[in-house]
Structure 1
Amino acid sequence: MRNEESAPGLDLAQPGSEPALPVVIQGGMGAAVSDWNLANQVAQTGNLGVVSGTALDTVVARRLQDGDPGGHMRRALAHFPVPAVADRILERYFRPEGREEGQAYLPVPNLTLKPVSRSRDLMVASAFVEVWLAKEGHSGPVGINLLEKIQLAIVPAAYGAMLAGVDYVLVGAGIPSKIPRLLDKLARHELAAMDIHVDGGTQTYATELNPRDVVPEDFPPLKRPKFLAIIASHPLAAYLTKEEATTPDGFVVEGHIAGGHNAPPRGRMTIENGEPVYGTRDEADVAKIAKFGLPFWLAGAYATPELVQEAKALGAVGVQVGTIFALCSDSGTTPQMRGQLLDALAGDRLEVRTDALASPTGFPFKVVPMAGTLGAEEVYAERTRICDLAYLRTAYEKKPGQLGYRCPSEPEDDYLRKGGELSNTVGRKCLCNGLMATVGMPQVRSGVEEGPLLTLGSDLTAAKQLLALHPDGWDAQQALGYLLGEVPAARTTHATRAEELALAVR
């Protein structure tokens, strides 16, 4: 239980009023890098702890197959409102003794436009589990981060999170205009549908969820969480606020320096040394965003105490921060990977590249090209291409009313057979398998484990300062203490935010 009087960044609301907005949002990173434990530690302080909503069905299924150390998955599933669903999941995936060495994980059903019931139930229950655990034992705010690019997962993941009482839903990597209405419907247990992008589609296709297929008819209405749209530009903010039905409750304004997926440069993309070139057009006009009157947080190299204060001076509530939390001991990143990253950071050898080709989505993606990981060219070249997790694949129309699915990271022959272009496969990495390996759950095929794929933000200033303060590493609350501690009233040697952006663009 947190100590509310001393929790950093917490401004207690008066009884009966809206809870105070959090100063720090801990970014929702990777597949279970931002796991329930990290979000729980952050939320205890009154700041916003965020779980990653990516691949949660696979994450929970693999934790169960590894024996569910600590019993956390089973403890959360025991609170799922439909016991029969929880029982079926345990029966299929739980292995009390864990897997034998070298044994492959059982697969979970791939996401499709019309999922089978066990796929739907697993996605709903897995999101419930992650959020329930993140909220356990405190009253701080918890959010879930979803990718608009993984459209087929959004509806069941959002509903499962809402069943667990999630406070915020954050969506980026696309144009999340449908989310406000979707959350309204799910809160009332109404049929909720979401249009999906289909390559070559001649008609509208939508995935849907009827909550009454999951919970009983008499189940009470749910709390409607706040929706934060993750955006990279003020034009997108203007588009989302045109109508009440598409207007979010706030924005996270994320620059291209942030880790994970980045918005592509506006206009024609120019590549230099394998990285996209960003310019002044790609910088969000914070003053224009402030005029929409919605709360917003700044992200992407706003991770020092000075920049937290600068963000507030620009009208922001606070900041969203990822890298220093990804590197902290509470994150889902394996201790081995974290140790290698911190050693490289200490030796000034840690490199982060904006890879224009890595992600099957076509969005630029931050990659750490560390030896032994998929970010290293020799490891990428040796890997046998396979797309079995399939979260980032794209739907395409075979004929009106009939869909297929393809991924630029799958075997080239398969992709071409499905109508894809060979040029789209060049340099594409398997983010799905790589990110699962990063959190210690790599698939095993014929005795060979999938290699990890590491992503961080480009600006390592805060991480270096934290490492100087904590040479053996830091935990989530130490990271928050650093961010929200005493900050000098005036900047001296630290460059202004505008100067840093100008340097990054050059």
Structure 2
Amino acid sequence: MGRSAQGDPPVLIQGGMGVGVSGWRLARTVSRAGQLGVVSGTALDLTLARRLQRGDPGGDLRRALAAFPVPEVAGRVLRRYFVPGGIPEGSPYRPVPRLGLRQSRALDELTVAANFCEVYLAKEGHDGLIGVNYLEKIQMATPAAVYGAMLAGVDYVLVGAGIPAEIPHLLDELAAHRRGEVAVTVADGDRQPVAVEPRRLFGRTLPPLPRPRLLAIVSSHVLAAYLARTPRTRPDGFVLESPVAGGHSAPPRGRLTLDERGEPVYGPRDEVDIAKVAAIGLPFWLAGGYGTADGLAAALAAGANGIQVGSAFALCRESGLDPALRDRLLREACAGTLRVRNDPLASPTGFPFKVADVPGTLADPAVYADRPRLCDLGYLRTPYAKEDGAVGYRCPAEPVDVYVRKGRPAEEAEDRRCLCNGLLAAIGLGQHRPDGYAEPPLLTLGQDVGFLAELPEDHSATDVIEYILTGARVRTA
């Protein structure tokens, strides 16, 4: 299948999708096939805690925690969350500490351990490449999350949904177990640091770590050039993402215009000048609509090192999606009835977000209307400066009156979806409320699903890889 040599950049990067969709099983399968398998680093603290409360069927998480380099930290995580046999079906999950500018020790330990476990399991039993994908917008989690992945020997860190200018230096510091920090934007106030201090957290010094390569996920050649200008901000490569890719997209440049379906209109200013990115001299991959043999051929012809593929892997057997939801997406996509819209309002981040219109999910207006508005997980909430100088936190998906009391207009909260709860429900880890209410899922996917016509009905990750690489060889021979 065209294995990439360990020191060579991969041809195919598997996307780091959603919350838990790109889990360790998928990433390990892709890596064993010689390409770059990527785990999603979003909310791994919460997914670890909930899976431990489910009893950790198969014992994989406990096996990974047993390999954690500081056993007493792993022991505290187990004692806090592991439930032998699992909690009763329909019971509420125990909460985890929420992100903030001043992290608790318990949250740092959980975050570091969770990211370690996911990467450890993805790398277990082979010598292939594994990456981890983070959202730059979830800044308050980044230092501890990255450190945990590095403790497990992650090979690549991919960062999108923002400007990852501080990540190269963060990787340098954490490789030496020095304090690693990023500056968090505080609305109406000064940026404030959030850090992880390995020696203070563990009470000991560990051997130096290999520094992973950093790929910045960008949608603009201007941003690529900005990041590459100095060694302190320069990544090791880029993923150039088009607006059709799943999850979040960069908003159009200039004044926002919507088409007849209510989706943002992208124009010439939003097109990445691939030649200008190539002139920077760093490796790059193309993403969003390139997940076919012809797409790879076109990317290589444009000077790219390869492509990043998301949706085809999100719908494969090794995907972390709830199997019943995956089957529904496949059936509707194959029947030509699936609509994935680029919703400018769904995400609390303000970025357009791809939402699969599937009845019974949070995309359904009736389901959305019935859901009590609340923000109890808080990964996408933002800090702001209060009038008294203290820092508060707000999210457009929280109750509208609460959001307004925090100084923002009600219209900003209109039609916002709770991505945190919805994406967790999409992988079978949705919260059950004490009153019996179960969080509905929210599904995201890329807008190009034409690849399904060339794949088996119930395809695997290796089917995706073989289809793309074998076809590309035929076309580029």
Q: Deviations over 1:64-89 (max 9, x none)?
A: 00110110110000011111111111
Aligned to 2:157, what secondary structure does the other structure show? Answer: strand
Q: Where does residue 254 of structure 2 map in the other structure? A: 267
Q: Where does residue 395 of structure 1 map in the other structure? A: 383
Which of 478, 483, 506 is matched with 2:463 structurally?
478
Matches of 1:10 and 1:184 in 2, distance apart? Answer: 29
Which of 427, 439, 448 is matched with 1:450 structurally?
439
Please identify, of 213-222 and 62-71, the stretch whose mean Cα deviation from structure 2 is larger: 213-222
Deviation at 1:461, TM superposition (A): 1.1
Aligned to 2:342, what secondary structure does the other structure show? Answer: strand
* Aligned 8 A contact 2:396 2:403 in 1: yes
Q: Where does residue 181 of structure 1 map in the other structure? A: 169
- Cα distance change on mapping 1:87 and 1:282 into 2, 3 Å: same
Matches of 1:322 and 1:132 in 2, distance apart? Answer: 22
* Aligned 8 A contact 1:408 1:424 in 2: yes
Aligned residue type for 2:366: E
Aligned to 2:181, what secondary structure does the other structure show? Answer: strand
Q: Where does residue 497 of structure 1 map in the other structure? A: none
In the TM superposition, 1:208-247 aligns within 5 A as: 208-247=195-234
Aligned residue type for 1:462: F
Is the aligned partner of 1:437 residue 2:430? no
Which of 395, 410, 424 is matched with 1:407 structurally?
395
Q: Deviations over 1:107-162 (max 9, x none)?
A: 00000111110011100100000000000000000011000110001110000000
Q: Where does residue 166 of structure 1 map in the other structure? A: 154
Structure 1: stretches of 5+ with no match in the other structure? 1-7, 14-18, 492-506
Matches of 1:276 and 1:308 in 2, distance apart? Answer: 27
Q: Deviations over 1:333-368 (max 9, x none)?
A: 011001111111121111100000000000000000
Matches of 1:216 and 1:138 in 2, distance apart? Answer: 31
Q: Where does residue 241 of structure 2 map in the other structure? A: 254
Q: Where does residue 68 of structure 1 map in the other structure? A: 56
Aligned to 2:232, what secondary structure does the other structure show? Answer: helix
Q: Deviations over 1:26-52 (max 9, x none)?
A: 000000000011101111112110000
Deviation at 1:318, TM superposition (A): 0.4
Matches of 1:324 and 1:452 in 2, distance apart? Answer: 20
Q: Deviations over 1:389-417 (max 9, x none)?
A: 11000110114752100000001111111
Q: Deviations over 1:410-454 (max 9, x none)?
A: 011111111121111001000000000000011001112111100
Which of 304, 318, 321 is matched with 2:306 structurally?
318
Matches of 1:400 and 1:176 in 2, distance apart? Answer: 31
Structure 2: stretches of 5+ with no match in the other structure? none
Which of 278, 302, 307 is matched with 1:290 structurally?
278
Aligned residue type for 1:11: S
Deviation at 1:217, TM superposition (A): 3.1
Is the aligned partner of 1:278 residue 2:266? yes
Deviation at 1:11, TM superposition (A): 3.4
Which of 55, 79, 88 is matched with 1:91 structurally?
79
Is the aligned partner of 1:463 residue 2:463? no
How many residue pairs get matched? 474
- Cα distance change on mapping 1:400 and 1:176 into 2, 3 Å: farther
Q: Where does residue 11 of structure 1 map in the other structure? A: 4
* Aligned 8 A contact 1:306 1:488 in 2: no
Matches of 1:142 and 1:399 in 2, distance apart? Answer: 45
Aligned to 2:13, what secondary structure does the other structure show? Answer: strand
Is the aligned partner of 1:365 residue 2:358? no
Q: Where does residue 134 of structure 1 map in the other structure? A: 122
Aligned to 1:115, what secondary structure does the other structure show? Answer: coil
Q: Where does residue 37 of structure 2 map in the other structure? A: 49
Deviation at 1:280, TM superposition (A): 1.4
Q: Where does residue 502 of structure 1 map in the other structure? A: none
Matches of 2:40 and 2:424 in 1, distance apart? Answer: 12
Aligned residue type for 2:2: G
Matches of 2:254 and 2:388 in 1, distance apart? Answer: 32
Aligned residue type for 2:9: L
Aligned residue type for 1:476: A
Which of 316, 325, 335 is matched with 1:337 structurally?
325
Aligned residue type for 2:411: S
Matches of 1:149 and 1:416 in 2, distance apart? Answer: 22
Q: Deviations over 1:457-502 (max 9, x none)?
A: 0111112321xxx12x1111111111111347559xxxxxxxxxxx
Q: What is the CA RMSD across the aligned residues, in angstroms? A: 1.2
* Aligned 8 A contact 1:266 1:282 in 2: yes
Please identify, of 306-315 and 358-367, the stretch whose mean Cα deviation from structure 2 is larger: 306-315
* Aligned 8 A contact 1:81 1:215 in 2: no
Percent identical among aligned pairs is 54
- Cα distance change on mapping 1:405 and 1:147 into 2, 3 Å: same
Which of 373, 386, 410 is matched with 2:374 structurally?
386
Please identify, of 243-252 and 208-217, the stretch whose mean Cα deviation from structure 2 is larger: 208-217
Matches of 1:164 and 1:490 in 2, distance apart? Answer: 38
* Aligned 8 A contact 2:345 2:352 in 1: yes
Matches of 2:138 and 2:30 in 1, distance apart? Answer: 26
Aligned to 1:324, what secondary structure does the other structure show? Answer: helix
* Aligned 8 A contact 2:182 2:193 in 1: yes
Q: Deviations over 1:372-401 (max 9, x none)?
A: 000111111111111011100011011475
- Cα distance change on mapping 1:309 and 1:396 into 2, 3 Å: same
* Aligned 8 A contact 2:294 2:471 in 1: no
Aligned residue type for 2:222: P
Is the aligned partner of 1:30 residue 2:15? no
- Cα distance change on mapping 1:422 and 1:291 into 2, 3 Å: same
**Could you state the TM-score of these two structures normalised by the residue count of structure 1?**
0.92
Matches of 1:426 and 1:399 in 2, distance apart? Answer: 25
- Cα distance change on mapping 1:490 and 1:127 into 2, 3 Å: closer
Aligned to 1:10, what secondary structure does the other structure show? Answer: coil
Q: Where does residue 494 of structure 1 map in the other structure? A: none
**Could you state the TM-score of these two structures normalised by the residue count of structure 2?**
0.97
* Aligned 8 A contact 1:9 1:22 in 2: no
Is the aligned partner of 1:40 residue 2:28? yes
